[in-house]
Amino acid sequence: MIKGISASQGIAIAKAYRLEEINLNVTKRHVEDIEKEIIILEEAINKSVADLTILRDQTLKKLGKDKADIFDAHLLVIKDPEFMSQVIDKVRSEKVNADYALKEVRDMFVLMFEAMDNEYMRERSADIKDATNRILAKILKVKTNDLSLINEAVIIVANDLTPSDTAQMSKTYVKGFATNIGGRTSHSAIMARSLEIPAIVGTKTILEAVKDGEIIILDAVDGNIIVNPTDKEITAYQEKKQAYEAEKAELKLLIDQPTVTKDGVNIDIAANIGSPKDLNSVLEYGAEGIGLFRTEFLYMDKDDFPTEIEQFEAYKSVLEGMKGKPVVIRTLDIGGDKELPYLKLPKEMNPFLGYRAIRLCLDRKDIFKTQLRALLRASIYGNLRIMFPMIATIDEFVEAKIFLNQVKKELKQEAVAVSDTIQVGMMVEIPSAALLADNFAKIVDFFSIGTNDLIQYTFAADRMNQHVSYLYQPYNPSLLRLIKMVIDAAHKENKWVGMCGEMAGDEIAAPLLLGLGLDEFSMSATSILGVRKLMSQLSKKEMESLVNEALNKNNVTEVVELVKRRLG
Ligand code: PEP
Ligand code: MG
């Protein structure tokens, strides 16, 4: 049995589909049978054209024209007569193998395109590389990673997955995934929860332990994977899967219910989203608002900055979809494990401590302004709350707020309607902000505690590094004390406090957070009903006394024992 971190709950039993790192090693060979070599090349080209056509059509249906255009660009390269005739000429004149000739001609074209003045032409070199890699992979008989071409039930096994890999997965065929690296709060894990695909991350060894096509059981309730299970194990897990799904169905009865504790206190449970597409599950699970819209995915899904209009449409659709319920939209939080290739930032030694989020936006006001304009224009379509990420100092918040007001003034001068009731708040995810929460509370409308980062910065443990994942300690009294400081400081100024880190949806943490007085719990939509049910079984008064005890414990074990003992 292989253990890992359960990143998205559920149970799946299916064949493993290994996502290999592609290795395209080409060596020069002398060939006598030139015609045979040309046939090999032509067959590889035909297969690539067929793959790309399917990919383009599927992408068009699922993700729209913008994304589908990428595959059209690849088709153009492959079908370019000038390019391919040079490859064939090389095979004939130099009597070399097709893959070598293709690579040589490719490298020459890439160099030529990269040297061009025109940026658009320079960028085409990436298309040439991608398209020719596909043909090379066919010649060398190396499997390429086209997740959207999968057409049977599988569990993806990989070293790691990028958020865009995860976004390409079709729920019809991809029954789950398991990775060697990553933690509960890595962004592929977060995407898995919003797609509701069972996932286990940080297994360290799953890729080495499984062959392509072997059956595996992915128990992403308890974080266990069984490779080549016995019939008995398969039956046992099929039963467990049924029981899990029955419980899920029972929870669905709570969808239209408010969240109220046993002693009658109302709590807000909101959802975290990454794109307007997530709205369906937000409504399906009966969220009382959106506590975090991670706008960076709007930027990561494209090969260039989204325009003001594109962003406006996205924000407007979410605000309208929520029909007046509060929607907290966070401004761009790029950096850390969320990269934006077209921003072309230099590689950093410590990306999580680097040039990211509000730091970057305050420096690149052009990028920031486009987003703020889009947000403000959308504000009249619902109940918008704007939130700045990664605030470390009072000066950063003040500068961001002044800039927001300036952009608002400009829009009004252009006679654009903007709401006058937008709340402006900040993420508390850096210890310096938590420690100065009393001063921040005077100038913000609300706080949202980002425990994913607050924990990594408090315990000095990279949230992507599985070797230090034991330091992801949401129940540690040190963290509980920091959270208490933030909540108490906000309440003193009559401001509300939410939490949008993964801790808010954790069933051991939720009783403690209720006791600390947290006003809004924002989580993956799929966790909402479980927490709603739990809240109905808890008394806020009792949780206050529970958390007072927890705050004085020494470590996580003592806190977990206490919670389990008190909740029976
Ligand atoms: C957090 O840090 O807790 C948070 C919600 O933001 P993200 O996970 O996007 O960094
Ligand atoms: Mg964060």
Where is 139: in which H helix or E strand? helix 119-139
Q: Which of 188, 190, 339, 500 to mutate to test the pocket of ligand 1 (most atoms within 8 A of CB)?
A: 500
pLDDT greater than 60 at residue 163: no
Q: Which of 30, 74, 467, 500 is catalytic?
A: 500
Reported as a pLDDT band with limits 50, 70 and 90, residue 284 is confident
Least confident segment among 107-116, 253-262, 379-388, 391-400? 107-116
| Helix pair 365-378, 308-321: axis angle to 10 deg | 40
Q: Exposure string (b/e) for 41-66, b if CB count within 10 Å is 16 or more?
A: beebbeebbebbeebbebbbeebeee
Q: Is the CB of 294 under 6 A from ligand 1?
A: yes
Which residues are paired to 270 by β-bridges?
Answer: 522
Q: Which of 74, 187, 361, 467 is catalytic?
A: 187
Q: Exposure string (b/e) for 509-523, b if CB count within 10 Å is 16 or more?
A: bbbbbbbbbbbbbbb
Q: Say whether 172 sits in a helix, a strand or coil.
A: coil
Nearest CA-CA partner of 244 in 523, 505, 508, 11: 11
Residue 97, token pair as written in the block = 């193998």
For residue 540, the one-letter residue type is: K
Can you give the pLDDT at residue 54? 82
Q: What is the mean pLDDT of residues 298-317?
A: 93
Can you give the pLDDT at residue 450? 98
Reported as a pLDDT band with limits 50, 70 and 90, residue 162 is low
Q: What is the mean pLDDT of residues 300-327?
A: 94
Reported as a pLDDT band with limits 50, 70 and 90, residue 392 is very high
Reported as a pLDDT band with limits 50, 70 and 90, residue 336 is confident
Can you give the pLDDT at residue 415? 97
- The percentage of residues in the chain with a pLDDT greater than 90, rounded to a whole number, is 72
- The percentage of residues in the chain with a pLDDT greater than 70, rounded to a whole number, is 96
Residue with the bigger pLDDT between 51 and 565: it is: 565
CA distance 74 to 129: 9
CA distance 224 to 209: 13
Reported as a pLDDT band with limits 50, 70 and 90, residue 339 is confident
CA distance 275 to 314: 8
Residue 285, token pair as written in the block = 């699970």
| Mean pLDDT of the chain, nearest integer | 91
Residue 501 Cα: closest atom of ligand 1: 3
pLDDT greater than 60 at residue 464: yes
What would be the CATH architecture of the domain defined by 147-251?
3-Layer(bba) Sandwich (3.50)
Residue 61, token pair as written in the block = 């249906």
Is residue 479 within 8 A of residue 455, CB to CB? The reply is: yes
For residue 501, report the distance from its CA to the centre of ligand 1, in Å.
5
For residue 18, report the distance from its CA to the centre of ligand 1, in Å.
29
323, exposed or middle or buried, with CB in 10 Å at 0-12, 13-18, 19+? exposed
Q: What is the mean pLDDT of residues 404-427?
A: 97
Can you give the pLDDT at residue 168? 67
Can you give the pLDDT at residue 341? 85
Instruction: Count CA atoms within 13 Å of residue 132 on its CB side.
Output: 24
Structural domain spans, the chain:
23-140, 147-251, 257-539
Can you give the pLDDT at residue 228? 97
Which residue's CA is minimally distant from atom 1 of ligand 1?
450
Which residue's CA is minimally distant from atom 9 of ligand 1?
294
Write phi, then psi, for 213 (nearest 5 degrees): 90, -10
Write phi, then psi, for 64 (nearest 5 degrees): 100, 175
- Count of C-beta atoms within a 10 Å radius of residue 312: 20
| CATH class for the domain made up of 23-140 | mainly alpha
pLDDT greater than 80 at residue 120: no
Can you give the pLDDT at residue 445? 98
Residue with the bigger pLDDT between 377 and 82: it is: 377
Q: Say whether 393 sits in a helix, a strand or coil.
A: coil
Least confident segment among 71-75, 103-107, 322-326? 71-75
Q: Where are the alpha helices (DSSP H) in 140-186?
A: 163-168
For residue 88, the one-letter residue type is: I
pLDDT greater than 60 at residue 294: yes
Can you give the pLDDT at residue 148? 74
pLDDT greater than 60 at residue 72: yes
Q: Tell whether domain 257-539 is in CATH 3.20.20.60.
A: yes
For residue 449, report the distance from its CA to the centre of ligand 1, in Å.
9
Q: What angle do CA 43, 44, 47 make, to 5 degrees?
A: 85
pLDDT one-digit tens code per residue, 32-68: 999 999 999 999 999 999 988 887 887 677 656 766 7
Is residue 540 within 8 A of residue 514, CB to CB? The reply is: yes
Q: Say whether 530 sits in a helix, a strand or coil.
A: helix
For the question of residue 361 being annotated catalytic, the response is no
pLDDT one-digit tens code per residue, 188-217: 677 787 778 999 999 999 999 999 999 999
- Count of C-beta atoms within a 10 Å radius of residue 405: 12
CA distance 4 to 183: 9
Q: What is the mean pLDDT of residues 349-353?
A: 92
Sign of the alpha-carbon torsion through 517, 522, 527, 533: positive
- The ligand placed nearest to the CA atom of residue 522 is 1
What is the end-to-end Cα distance of the chain in Å, rounded? Answer: 30
Q: Is the CB of 185 under 6 A from ligand 1?
A: yes
